[in-house]
Amino acid sequence: MQLFGMPAEKGRWVLILLGMVINLCLGSIYSWSVFVTPLTNYFVQELGQTVTANDVLLPFSVFLASFAIAMPLTGRFIESHGPRNVTIAGGILTGLGWLLASTATSVSMLYIVYGVIGGIGVGIAYGVPVAVAARWFPDRRGLAVGLTLLGFGFSAFFTANVAGWLIGAYGVMQTFRIFGIAFLVLITLLALPLVFPPKDWKPAGWTPPAPKAGEARCEFNRSEMVRTSSFYALWICYFIGCLAGLMAIGIAKPVGTEVVGIGSALATMLVGVFAIFNGGGRPVFGALTDRINPRNTALLSFALIALGSLLMWQLPTVPVYILAFALLWGCLGGWLAIAPTATASYFGTCDYPRCYGVVFLAYGAGAIAGPQLAGFIRTSTGSYLGVFPWVAALAVAGLAIALLFLKPPRVPGKAA
């Protein structure tokens, strides 16, 4: 079998590259902080509305919530309509969300056109490159999924800088328009080659490892998956990892300026640096998931989250701030590789898009809980510093859950 004129074992790497660039477009949501001040100024100065920066931050949460909800609702269409068509549909909605944002005359309108429409578009398209990578790389599933998601994590490093330049040159609304057209065209073109391998295809020379005694690494459908303790352990661990990471994304700059006292320009630059760790965490933790299994990789992630949070709580200095947030952003990227890889490893790939869609709801829950926790503590205590002991405690709980319950499901009567 050949892909792109090469043996499938080589050509499948092109699919990883395509998925990486698609995710680079989809992950532009992580550059939202660049839009907050220009949008606030636009609504206040040009439209004469009473708008605060906090109001303009809400589309970020609406977008992530819509993103997470759309994932499980659209997973089944990947099987029935194919990865190409589903990605194109998601790309059109994503681009449309950015385009319509350029016409927003109120923050409420922005919630709908950008948060809901754009978020649903990303939710539709996001799972497709992951599912394609999981099918084409049964021998290196964690690495392939991690590389595919690399673009989503790195996106803020590229799109934030591009957005900043465009806003300065053309204004914030014209920047929305440019991004919308670019994403619509790019995602549509990059989606055209996406395809699943034939049923039962496997790389030449590779033999699936035999399951250990008592373990059934078999094909589960979604209803079977949600009846296992392994699913609930994975979901809760994923939630904790996303809560910590998305909280860190939301408060990285204000913690730098308010808690450790660095300048605004340096804090903005460091957000770009943290984005590199977020992107790099995906292939690193994905490869570790292949090598040392999902449970041990999860334990390592929670240990790093607890370490970073405790250091930040006890020693809020500039070097510790950089180290702690690099760990938190990196571990968020890590969980976005650990969870999809664990889903495929534990429950198989026959119903993977729908199975991972349910698991991915943990990301949406973390996206809501993380910023809300940070905002509540900031409001009630006057400082973000009190966030970190809570995150450390949650990481310890994650360690216990992963150690005791995160393992391949044992299902008597099902063939391995």
Query: What's the confidence (pLDDT) of residue 50?
Result: 80
State the greatest distance between any 2 C-alpha atoms of the chain, in Å, as a whole number. Answer: 69
Query: What's the confidence (pLDDT) of residue 411?
Result: 60
Half-sphere exposure of 230 (CA within 13 A, CB side): 22
- CATH architecture, domain defined by 219-416: Up-down Bundle (1.20)
- Count the neighbouring beta carbons within 10 Å of the beta carbon of residue 204: 8
- CATH architecture, domain defined by 1-197: Up-down Bundle (1.20)
- Count the neighbouring beta carbons within 10 Å of the beta carbon of residue 53: 12
Task: Tell me the two tokens of residue 67.
Answer: 């993103």
Query: What's the confidence (pLDDT) of residue 214?
Result: 42
* CA distances to 37, 143, 243, 384 from 375, in Å: 18, 35, 13, 8
Domains 1-197 and 219-416 share a fold: yes
Q: Whose structure tokens read 């070097």?
A: 319
Q: What is the DSSP letter of 30?
A: G
* Under 8 Å between Cβ of 110 and 55: no
* Under 8 Å between Cβ of 235 and 365: no
Q: Which residues of the chain have pLDDT under 70?
A: 53-54, 210-218, 411-416
What does the domain layout of the chain look like in residue ranges?
1-197, 219-416
Instruction: In whole angstroms, give the CA distance from residue 180 to residue 93.
Output: 9
Query: What's the confidence (pLDDT) of residue 87?
Result: 95
